[in-house]
Amino acid sequence: RMVSLAQGENGVFAYYLELAVRSLRRNPGLTALMVLAIGFGVSASMTMYAVFRGVSADPIPWKSSKLFVPQIDAWGPDHRENGEPPSRLTYIDAMALIHQHRAVRQSAIVGMSRLIVPPRNSQNDGLINASGYAVYSDFFPMLDVPFHYGGGWSAGDDARQDPVIVIGDHLNQTMFGGGNSVGKTVTIADHTYRVVGVLKYWNPQPEFFFLLRFKQYEPDFFLPFQSVVSNNAISDGGATCKSRDGSGQSFEALLRSDCVWISYMVELDNQAAVQAYRQYLDGYASQQQRLGRFQWGPNNRLRDLPAFLAYKHVVPSDTQVSLLVAQGLLAVCLLNTVGLLLAKFLRRSGEIAVRRALGASRVAIYAQFLTEAAMIGATGGLLGLLLTALGVLSIGLVIPPNIAALARIDPFLLALTLALAVTTTLLAAVYPTYRASRVPPALQLKAQ
């Protein structure tokens, strides 16, 4: 009996499909107009969703809940913005956190741009313009940085201020033609560094560990923080000071100042460790207050990485606006589809009246017209798939290329596009189908 019932249901569905195909063929122009409306509306929405998904994605999802950014208020209430302390640390505070080492892993981080002398046997005669970071040894395991060859330096290298360097895949290709270059040397600003590791391609988006920006190129190098400081190789171009008097000072004065210029990140394994680190930060700020350095009470923050990215509004506002505009376009297309479906269904009032007079229920009328709407949605979805793919590939023409490059075409996006097209078309068909099912059979038959 169950097999017979299933066969009967399949037969009814096949009958509805046949009716839908006949109806769509009867008005090819109207059908094409609805398919185009659905296809264009869905593709515009999904193209911008692909971009939004790219820029708002978690850059290190398997570990972001364990990565935290400490903020210490070194400026006081007169320099707070919405009650918030600076996002970066002074050198004094960063070094205190490094030496007291209350986290599982931790690193101060400063960006650098340097000219690198190419090897003597290199075909490149000019200096190589490269950008990188000064970090501590914990940086690499803390952020799961991938290596082709070698690895990061040790805590002992940090303490001894050894002249070591980790280079990126691109710089390795430029300098040494690729391959294992561990043990070779790199000259930067008259200082020679020994290569201890070569990275695989690593360019997380956004650059969550420093400027929170979307970068087109991977980092070229990483140097030990204290070694760079000892060589006076960090400029204060990225420093922000409470007053203009702090800018343009000597590097030694910068180290003693209240200027903030050091990004800082810690790894904490569980909630107990997070709570303990918060208490540690407040205790440290209270100690600085007792010493007379701070004239205010503790006003610290400790946000995990997703919360910190949200606090800094990393997702570009124009991307969010574009997504809303695209969703508005989809809504307009759906409203037009509602009107077209209403006109199409009500024109078949005579057919509906005959079917009702022959015993068809309102549920059967619903099933018939929703099947037809689903076919329109599926066809519009297939068109939307093509237009979405074209949109993602060409979105760089209207938005910055480094942001457009984050949009990806993957099975999830394609499945979501098709599902959105069918679902929204079915929703658009609910009211027209309701009106069609309410056609009075007797009145229509008398009119016939």
pLDDT in tens, the chain (448 residues): 333 333 344 567 677 777 777 777 777 888 888 889 888 889 888 888 888 888 878 889 999 999 999 999 999 998 888 889 999 999 999 999 999 999 999 999 999 888 888 776 666 667 888 889 999 999 999 999 999 999 999 999 999 999 999 999 999 998 888 889 999 998 887 888 999 999 999 999 888 998 778 887 899 999 999 988 888 766 655 778 876 544 456 778 888 888 999 999 999 999 999 999 999 999 999 999 999 999 999 999 999 999 999 898 887 776 777 788 888 888 888 888 888 888 877 776 666 666 666 666 777 777 887 888 888 888 888 998 898 889 888 887 777 777 777 788 888 888 888 888 888 888 888 888 887 777 665 444 444 5
Helices marked H in 102-224:
139-142, 155-160, 169-176
| Start-to-end C-alpha separation, the chain | 41
Residue 233 three-state SS: coil
The dihedral built from the CA positions of residue 57, 281, 97 and 260, taken in this order, carries a sign that is: positive
pLDDT the model gives residue 49: 87
What pTM did the predictor assign? 0.77
d(CA 287, CA 72): 12
Distance CA 343, CA 120 (A): 78
d(CA 412, CA 430): 27
Distances in whole angstroms, Cα of residue 76 to Cα of each of 11, 174, 249, 323: 76, 47, 22, 39
Q: Which regions of 21-161 does DSSP assign to beta strands (E)?
A: 67-71, 105-117, 128-135, 147-150
Instruction: Give the DSSP H/E element, type plus range, for residue 411.
Output: helix 411-437
Closest CA to 230 of 251, 205, 256, 203: 251
Pairing state of beta strands 263-267 and 301-304? unpaired
51 in Cβ contact with 214 (< 8 Å): no
Report the DSSP beta bridge partners of residue 303: 69
**Among 340, 348, 345, 350, which Cα is nearest to 380's?**
340
Number of helices (H), then strands (E), belonging to the chain: the values are 16, 10
Q: How far apart are CA 200 and CA 208, in angstroms?
A: 18
